[in-house]
Amino acid sequence: MGRVLVTEKLAQTGLDVMADAGHEVDVRLGLSPDELVEAVVGAQALVIRSATTVTADVLAAGTELVVVGRAGIGLDNVDVAAATDRGVMVVNAPQSNILSAAEQAMALLLAQARNIPQAHAALVAGKWERSKWEGVELHGKTLGVIGLGRVGALVAQRALAFGMRLVAYDPFVSADRARHMGVELLDLEALMAESDFVTIHLPKNKETLGLVGADLLARAKPGLRIINTARGGIVDEEALAAAIRSGHVQGAGLDVFAKEPTTESPLFGLPSVVVAPHLGASTVEAQDKAGVTIAEQVNLALRGDFVPFAVNVAATDVSETVRPFMGLAEQLGRILACLNAGLPDTLEIEFQGGLAGAGTGILTLSALKGLFGEVSEVPVSYVNAPQIAAEHGLEVRETSTVTPHDYVNLITLRSGEHAVAGTLTGPRSEPHLVMMDDHIVEVPPAPHMVVVRNDDRPGMIGVVGTILGDAAVSISSMAVGPSATGNTALMVLSTDGEVPEAALDRMREAPGISAVHAVRT
């Protein structure tokens, strides 16, 4: 169980999910940057929204951090690279507010078309101005959707119901998928030239920062109206204000700004601009979903389980076929590290059976996590395992064979003279070791194990058993596998506790025993 530092308002349901898992939920709102650095000390998880900035200094102070959770989509306020360097998982709630964000875009679209906020302000100020705030219909107009992801697709779906023609720019969407959605794909300049309204649904990164600037606006269809509920900075606010003043762009509806929070923008004084203080996710439903989702992700991360919404893990697409084998792959990595008594130069991983065609990237990460967990001085996670492998010069080779041999599914790890293989068996899909150093064995992995290589002759099991008995260590299970030549055998024993080093040394010194390894899984 760990301490979870929550620095911004989170739905009570989310707080309860973490507390019910046994974690200490420490809610500290309104922290300054210096106070955050102090508060994060000793925390295993940090949960934020958009107002808290997680810098490299915060991450350095949080030496026990396992995960940073953002209760929302954007991660502009988290130094993801620094978190990855430290092995800290960064997770978000990418599906929590997509419906609310899409509805906010539609609200701004309608507000732009019908001048509703302006007419409201005039009327409550005592002015009846019907002709001044004449609007336009959405029906028959062309809506350009920049970014046809989750939110963009929902906006497109809703705009179709208004009878709008849809065009979109998204280099990652196929023409077939777009046609299925009733959308025509165009390049960005053509979209701007044909659209009466444009709605933006892109992530903020170095490619999209300032994307809608003076040059692109100059190519826009006269009278264009722009909606942005994605991220501030994608639209150049100065350039947009200039285009609106010139009359080339009719107006804009903005929910996001380059600097937030803000009460100043060149767009604020323009009567044809409708603005909101980043309310895209500000619905009761979205906040509840974001709180619960991020709480569930934090619980998974603190348990050491796979986290589906981790943004800095190399493999996040995990099938139901692969998921049960993650723990086994990690155990095999630990066992191989113990057999090698250190870090090998190469790691060969072979997947056989149904696993081979199901996406095994997360299993490779799991094996690396187990391998380095035994030899690394820094905490190892799914996040930094590939980086640690690169830093140590470990060459990882993966092979896959969809045709099963002795087992329906099999994972084999091999390095130098050592190898270990395992599978899941039985109605409960329990892990079993089935090969070690090319000796056939059948034994479930256990927290404490001993691997003994000995001459294949009578009495060797009794020698090992006597030594363990003298050390007051009980054998829980045992498997013996002879070599193919019959000269040597391998004993794999599970014990009820850690075997004292003195007992291991007695085994190593016993006649007929050539190698002894203590294994932890």
Active site residues: 231, 260, 278
What span, in angstroms and rounded, lies between the C-alpha atoms of 454 and 457? Answer: 8
- The 3-state secondary structure of 168-220 reads EECCCCCHHHHHHCCCEECCHHHHHHHCCEEEECCCCCCCCCCCECHHHHHCC
CB of 9 closer than 8 Å to CB of 29: yes
Residue 151's CB: how many other CB atoms inside 10 A?
Answer: 27
Burial class of 3 by CB neighbour count within 10 A (0 to 12, 13 to 18, 19+):
middle
Name the residue type at position 164: M
Residue 406's CB: how many other CB atoms inside 10 A?
Answer: 12
Q: Pairing state of beta strands 488-495 and 475-482?
A: antiparallel
What span, in angstroms and rounded, lies between the C-alpha atoms of 172 and 82? Answer: 28
CB of 232 closer than 8 Å to CB of 259: yes
What span, in angstroms and rounded, lies between the C-alpha atoms of 318 and 11? Answer: 28
What span, in angstroms and rounded, lies between the C-alpha atoms of 99 and 327? Answer: 35
Give the DSSP letter string of 385-417. Answer: HHHHHHHTT-EEEEEEESS-SSSSEEEEEEETT
Give me the residue label for tokens 């006269």. Answer: 222
Residue 468, H or E segment: helix 460-470
What span, in angstroms and rounded, lies between the C-alpha atoms of 514 and 464? Answer: 13
Q: What are the residue ranges of helices labelled H in 94-174?
A: 98-114, 116-124, 150-161
Give me the residue label for tokens 């903020």. Answer: 204
Give me the residue label for tokens 């989170």. Answer: 10
In 3D space, the residue among 474, 469, 335 whose CA is nearest the CA of residue 412 turns out to be: 335
What span, in angstroms and rounded, lies between the C-alpha atoms of 173 and 148? Answer: 7
Exposure letters 467-486 (e unless 16+ CB within 10 A, then b) = bbeeeebebbebbbbeeeee
What span, in angstroms and rounded, lies between the C-alpha atoms of 76 and 65? Answer: 19
